[in-house]
Amino acid sequence: KRVALLISGGGSNMVKLVESMQGDHPARAVLVGSNDPEAGGLKKAAAMGVPTFAVDHRPYKGDRAAFEAELQRQLEEAQPDIICLAGFMRVLTEGFVRNWEGRMLNIHPSLLPKYKGLHTHQRALDAGDDVAGCTVHLVTPELDDGPILGQARVPVQAGDTADTLAARVLVQEHKLYPAVLRRFVSGDQTLLTLD
Ligand code: GRF
């Protein structure tokens, strides 16, 4: 199976996913793309031998459809079977999602359905939650709302800030996403829970 990954920044999740596919694995990373030409993850992908591209979303301003048309064009060239959104910070329209529905995954840094959207860790702290975590889900047109494929839970500790909690969750993201992808590639969509 051919996997394309989309990032917006450092791409730490992308790196772990690409590394997970370098050994004996039914899938391989064929392309890494970003909406930011300066995304640090693009260099990391290139260093791992994965072709990269960037479609800077800024020149498109509010024309989301035009941005997505170029994104789609670049993706189609690599003919991926699966797309992994990994720290990709652009909202995708229904039209784009429909092209890939059922084969586009995302990782979100909360225990969905709680805390869809941004600032998930601060919101969990503000709510006084004892447990936080991350979720890998299939992408559907509604933001952070698709069928859940895997979740990992971490304890919230006294004195946690959004940054310390984010760092603890990120460690679990790096375990969860590769594990979910490996199962997904083999057609297994049963829920994976890491505690
Ligand atoms: C992570 O918190 C991830 O959950 C979110 O983007 C953040 C950065 O991810 N989607 P990465 O280091 O760019 O993979």
pLDDT digits (tens, 9 = 90+) for 83-120: 999 999 999 999 999 999 999 999 999 999 999 999 99
Q: Which of 25, 57, 108, 119 is catalytic?
A: 108
11 assigned binding-site residue: yes
pLDDT greater than 90 at residue 62: no
For ligand 1, atom 1, which residue shows the shortest CA distance?
A: 87
pTM of the complete model: 0.96
- The predicted pLDDT at position 40 comes to 98
Digit-coded pLDDT (tens) for 140-190: 999 999 999 999 999 999 999 999 999 999 999 999 999 999 999 999 999
183 assigned binding-site residue: no
108 is catalytic: yes
- Helix, strand, coil percent values for the chain (each to nearest 5): 35, 25, 40
Q: Which atom of ligand 1 is nearest to the CA of 15?
A: 14
Measure 87 CA to ligand 1 centroid, in angstroms: 4
Cβ-proximal residues to 105 (8 Å cutoff; 6+ apart), any chain: 82, 83, 84, 85, 136, 137, 138, 139, 149, 177, 180, 181, 184
Measure 13 CA to ligand 1 centroid, in angstroms: 6
Residue type, 137: H
Residue whose C-alpha is closest to residue 172's, from 91, 111, 129: 111
- The predicted pLDDT at position 180 comes to 98
- The predicted pLDDT at position 195 comes to 87
